[in-house]
């Protein structure tokens, strides 16, 4: 770890605080599937390819190395890249998250894995006060290219302290980008975008999706594939009602749309993909077509992601009365 940090991080003398623009593919419809891929395989391949392409990328967290990840997301990476780039840490989220943020200050690109995002509460000061605020507090001079990733939300047979959805929590923080993939295409394309982004990204996966397989196309499997941050995907087109969702709730929404179709109701299902920034234009265009909106998520009933979406269409009365629209 320290050997990496001591290295010069920018070949040719580039500044470690230079803001590097992420490379994203053109927006295309990836419909011609060539194989099935599990979400954990998509995440693993994205990590592998980004680590291979950029020596500044490294992974750290509990059991990511010798054990190959609690959910086998980092399978084979220790053997391939060695212990200086795949670092097993003690059970000290505040400690290794702080080290990761410091490494990002230096120009490296850490990927910090939380065994569950509930444990990120132990490190929230580093995530918010150190990572999220540094670019603003430095007037744009300091970039913090770090990814915080791991399973988020409820899973099977776990307690309440392992079941929170943190999408709305972290999406309320200026300076953070928050992504939440549903399919293998999402997982692969969004993780690549997160690693290439110059700003801190909270990457919310779902334990129950790791073993699910989704069709992927040749474009998705290409090493240059990358999804744009801030762009939603219409998973199913419809004309009667718009349903927005993210992560595993997209699957439930698609099942609901199938049931509605049997009753003659055509539902459009939007996979948000990006929680912050939120693709308001895609949602807006859909609701203008359907005139109805249902937001679905697994978070708390109050102050959720859905509240942010609804506010865009039904603003508070004080805004209307004060003519600030």
Catalytic residues: 93, 162
* Residue 58 near residue 109 (C-beta atoms within 8 A): yes
Classified as helix, coil or strand, 282 is: helix
Task: Tell me the three-class secondary structure of 170-194, residue by residue.
Answer: HHCCCCCEEECCCCHHHHHHHHHHH
> Do 62 and 115 meet the contact criterion of CB atoms below 8 Å apart?
yes
Whether omega for the bond prior to residue 277 falls within 30 degrees of 0, making it cis, is yes
Q: Is 91 helix (H, G, I), strand (E, B) or coil?
A: coil
∠ at Cα 202 (41, 39), nearest 5°?
Answer: 15
Write out the E strands in the chain: 33-38, 57-61, 86-88, 109-113, 147-151, 177-179, 201-205, 213-217, 233-236, 241-245, 267-271, 274-276, 293-295
């Amino acid at each position: 770890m320290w050997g990496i940090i001591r290295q010069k991080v920018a070949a040719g003398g580039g500044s470690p605080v230079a803001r590097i623009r992420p490379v994203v593919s053109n927006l295309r419809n990836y419909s011609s599937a060539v194989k099935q891929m599990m979400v954990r395989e998509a995440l693993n391949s994205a990590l592998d390819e980004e680590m291979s392409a950029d020596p500044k990328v490294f992974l750290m967290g509990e059991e990511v190395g010798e054990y190959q990840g609690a959910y086998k997301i980092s399978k084979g990476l220790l053997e391939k890249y060695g212990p200086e780039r795949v670092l097993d840490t003690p059970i000290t989220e505040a400690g290794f998250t702080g080290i990761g943020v410091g490494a990002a200050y230096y120009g490296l690109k850490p990927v910090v894995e939380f065994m569950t995002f509930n444990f990120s509460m132990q490190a929230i000061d580093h995530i918010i006060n150190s990572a999220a605020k540094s670019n603003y507090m430095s007037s744009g001079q300091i970039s913090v290219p770090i990814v915080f990733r791991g399973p988020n939300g409820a899973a099977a047979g776990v307690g309440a302290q392992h079941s929170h959805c943190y999408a709305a929590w972290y999406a309320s923080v200026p300076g953070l980008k928050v992504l939440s993939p549903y399919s293998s295409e999402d997982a692969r394309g969004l993780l690549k975008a997160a690693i290439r982004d110059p700003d801190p990204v909270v990457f919310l996966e779902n334990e129950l999706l790791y073993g699910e397989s989704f069709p992927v196309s040749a474009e998705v499997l290409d090493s240059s594939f990358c999804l744009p941050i801030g762009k939603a995907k219409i998973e199913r087109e419809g004309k009667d009602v718009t349903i927005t969702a993210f992560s595993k709730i997209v699957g439930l929404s698609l099942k609901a749309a199938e049931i509605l179709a049997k009753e003659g109701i055509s539902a459009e299902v939007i996979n948000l993909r990006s929680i912050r920034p939120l693709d308001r234009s895609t949602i807006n265009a859909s609701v203008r077509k359907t005139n109805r909106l249902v937001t679905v998520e697994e978070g708390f009933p109050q102050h959720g992601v859905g509240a942010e979406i609804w506010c865009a269409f039904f603003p508070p009365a004080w805004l209307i009365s004060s003519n600030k629209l």
